[in-house]
Chain A
Amino acid sequence: MTLLEFRDVHVTYTGSRGRIPAVRGVDLTVEAGTTLGIAGESGCGKSTLAMAVLRLLPKTAEVTGEILLDGEDLLAMGWGRLRAVRWTGASIVFQGAMHSLNAVQRIGRQVAEPMLVHDKGLSAAAAAKRAEGLLERVGLPASRARSYPHELSGGQRQRVMIAMALACDPDLIIADEATTALDVMVQAQVLQLISGLVSERGVGLVMISHDLSVLSSVCDTAAVMYAGRVVEQGPAREVFAQARHPYSAALGAAFPVIGDPASRRNPGGLAGDPPDPARLPEGCSFRPRCAVAVERCGEAAPELLHIGGARSSACFVAQEGEPVVIG
């Protein structure tokens, strides 16, 4: 069953520098009980896409297209209905739990708050009880409900964010760099917790990260974004093991392979910077940094097309079946 569907979603910020396209035509789907990973470097539009789901972007952002949650278009619904869908239909584990919690409110109250907002019949005591239960589920003692955020470590705060995201039993959870700020041990625990929820409860999960090792260990499908577009899509393991777009290949090469001293001493980098979204290059936006670009790449932007199996790629070279990595 399709839980979440992006249909030709564009997000454009209007600022002092004019109109800046942050997301340029994204089509993605998430099935219930599966995990979609979205990868890409900073500024590629992946967080903007996540925030667009619950319409949390600032007023300067214009969102077009359709974002369907259980068949209902989130971008078209009224504010009252949208508020009802927020946190019950989809919830977000925000990046940077340091600032995403209210510093002057106790943890328990913050976790219980959405329950009380969405279920008018629920008593404060029952909500507090449930909040304590959620904290225990994410591996925190129930007594932590009485703590303030500054009394917790970064990993504990991140777990509080996850407990909070579960408060209203949402169908979809969006984890935006949920594990990026954590050290590896805590990261592994948190990842285990999140993927456990997907298999246990059949929720859909969108996992946003620039860390491919995280995505490949948790996700079923993966999408790689570059300059506001999905440039490659397919089963997560295949995408990261054998990229069919030069950008995904470079992203993968930037991480050393464990047990391979050669790659550890010489991680593959990618020269150049991501393009300025206000001045995108003609044709394929990756062309200036691409090692395998051909003449055609400067003339037209390649569409995301099926290239066999469950894979799609927005690269002319890959679409013709040529290798996207030199050597």
Chain B
Amino acid sequence: MTADGPTPADAAAPSGAAPSAGRRPGRVANGFGRYLCKHVAGAAVSLLLVLFSSFFIFRLIAGDPIDQLTKERPVSPEERAALRAELGLDRPMWEQFWDYIIGTLTMDLGDSFQYRRPIFDLIVERLPATILLSGTGMVLAVLLGFWIGTRTGWRQGSRYDRGHVAAGLLLYSAPTFWLGMIVILVFARYLGIFPVNGMRSPSTPPQFWPQALDIAHHLVLPVLTYTAVVYAGYLMIMRSSILDEIGSDYLTTARAKGLRDDQVRDRHAVPNALLPTVTLVFLAIGGIVNGSIVTEAVFSWPGLGSLFVQAVFYPDRPVLQALFVLFSASTILAVLAAEILYWFIDPRIRKS
């Protein structure tokens, strides 16, 4: 390795060394500019690909929307043609494509077939419910997973470790809809301490606090289900990240200093082990928007996930198209944010 004697950093550290000090900030900014451009360009390309493919995928798989919209109703060919014209489906494909691209880029997502309302409004109405459910669940899952993962990794092979890994993986591999139904059966039906589904009861007084408590009451079971299914992923990542640190020399140093075992773990091992999990946390944040489709469906939670499921069954092509783009975009942007953050927390990226 490098190591000995004065490095360039030494030379720059004392007050002197004016020429290098003058050049440095510019070079760093340039490096960051190039790094940023590279990753923003990459994200933009991904977004465009998503935009293009969502237009074609749903035209390929959903069949003729007029058939879907008019099923079980006798309609004349004239009525069909009128409907086609109303939805703009009679225009050439390239024109529809162009409208779709421009519309999406200007936040005009078109109307839903099912609701006959602007999709943008539907999304805005339902987004808070989804963020409430997945956001709460995701935060709990990350905290719980990291907390247990740290402890299982620290005592690899112990009964605690084996028990938690087995339980976590069992829940991880359980189908969400099945676990959701079990949870509803036990807590809502037999014990009767939580509502079966929905986000609020109609009988609740309209004031802020009763409403907030009512929503929280409805939130418990979906969040419980969601957290139970995903926390094991974070547990395993944190566990292996801790295992990578165990045996490191700096932990021996910490022990030699007279720190207790938990101090060695929390002050030294955990901060080092958290570094590689940053991407994961950002992916989780990106996944908040689309993370709970099945959970929302099971608990009739009025969020984007339920909207998506309804749109699949209808099938409501413009809604599917818009949600597909939204879900993909949130993940792509979260990854981009993680990459930008790495520039600041990991000095090795700056050097390369």
Contact = CB atoms under 8 A, between A and B. Distances in A.
Interface of A: 51, 54, 56, 83-88, 91-92, 94, 96, 98-105, 113-114, 117-118, 141, 143-144, 148, 150-156, 164, 181-183, 185-186
Interface in B256-304: 256-260, 263, 267-268, 271-272, 275
A156 B14 CA distance: 14
A99 B256 CA distance: 15
13 contacts: A86-B258, A87-B257, A96-B249, A100-B253, A105-B268, A117-B263, A153-B2, A153-B4, A154-B3, A155-B5, A164-B253, A182-B3, A183-B4
Q: What class of interface size applies to chain B in its complex with A?
A: 20 to 34
Given A113-B257, A117-B259, A141-B13, 9 more contacts: A91-B256, A94-B253, A102-B253, A102-B268, A103-B250, A105-B268, A117-B257, A118-B258, A185-B5
A98 B1 contact: yes
B313 to A, nearest CB: 50
B352 interface: no
A54 B253 CA distance: 11
Nearest to A115: B257
A90 to B, nearest CB: 9
A94 B258 contact: no
B254 interface: yes
A250 to B, nearest CB: 28
A243 B340 CA distance: 61
Interface of B: 1-7, 9-10, 13-14, 248-250, 252-260, 263, 267-268, 271-272, 275, 347
Contact of B272 (A88, A103, A113): A103
Contact of A104 (B13, B260, B275): B275
A164 B256 CA distance: 11
Nearest to B347: A150
A264 to B, nearest CB: 23
Contacts of B275: 104
B337 to A, nearest CB: 21
Nearest to A54: B256
A153 B7 contact: yes
B220 to A, nearest CB: 37
